[in-house]
Amino acid sequence: MLKVENLNKKFGKKEVLKDVSFELQPGERLHIIGKNGSGKSTIFKIITGILKQNSGTVNIDDGDVIGALIENPGFLEYEAGLENMKFLAELNHNYNEDRVRKLMKRLSLDPDDSQAVSKYSIGMRQKLGIIQAIMEKQNIVLLDEPTRGIDKEGIAVFVEILEELKKQNRAVIIANHDDIPNLKYDKELKLVNGVLEGE
């Protein structure tokens, strides 16, 4: 499904990732834990093609589709939340308004709210980013600090959604600096000074 081998990345002379390797199978939930600035977001940016690695490989099976929430998600700032989701999904001709509305309501976002995303709180933006990463039934989901700014009730709903993704055999990688209450993982790896440790 997803195989990352010997990934190395430098910014100038600074080594951010050193021989990072891991695999992800259908339905698995992987936790990459590390301090802010440890390189977690860099891994996601390389997997999604935003950044180019200095060496190493990323292999994704044919037909697999990646959805990603990466740090500070970008939106059409002067459009409402639902309009943003419509715009993004229609890029792939894959917009299902009923699905998006249900996800927004579950995460306490009003799909009929005309408020511009520029006025959203951090937590509201994260919720919208989570929806964007899963709304097209992507089967590999990358979530970077997904619960940042989200309250306990919102986190509980987020965990419920992740359990549903697992039942649908969709693989998820969560990268953050701490644990999410009541969320269990199939694999846990720690990123320290650019090196991935443990399992």
Task: Name residue 33's beta-bridge partners.
Answer: 176, 190
42-68 mean pLDDT: 94
* Residue 91 pLDDT: 82
Residue 109 lies in domain? 2-197
> Nearest to residue 28, comparing CAs of 135, 197, 168?
168
199 band by pLDDT with thresholds 50, 70 and 90: low
pLDDT class of 94 with cuts at 50, 70, 90: confident
Mean pLDDT of 102-109: 97
Residues 6+ apart with CB under 8 A from 139: 1, 26, 64, 65, 169, 170, 171
CATH of the domain at 182: 3.40.50.300
pLDDT at 71 over 90: no
Per the listing, tokens 């936790």 go with 31
- Find out whether 141 and 170 touch, Cβ atoms under 8 Å: yes
Average pLDDT in the chain? 93
**Number of continuous H segments (helices) and E segments (strands) in the chain:** 5, 9
User: Which pLDDT value is given to residue 28?
Assistant: 97
- Report pLDDT for 38: 85
Query: Global pTM?
Result: 0.93
Q: How many domains does the chain have?
A: 1
- Cα separation, 75 vs 167, in Å, equals 29
| Interval 162-194: pLDDT, tens | 999 999 999 999 999 888 989 999 999 999 989
How many alpha carbons fall within 13 Å on the CB side of residue 4? 22
Enter the tokens of residue 98. Answer: 């009923």
Average pLDDT over residues 59-71: 90
What was the pLDDT predicted at 15?
92
- Spatial neighbors of 188 by CB under 8 A, at least 6 apart, are 30, 31, 33, 198, 199
SS (H, E, C) 149-197: CCCHHHHHHHHHHHHHHHHCCCEEEEEECCCCCCCCCCEEEEEECCEEE
> For position 144, what pLDDT does the model report?
95
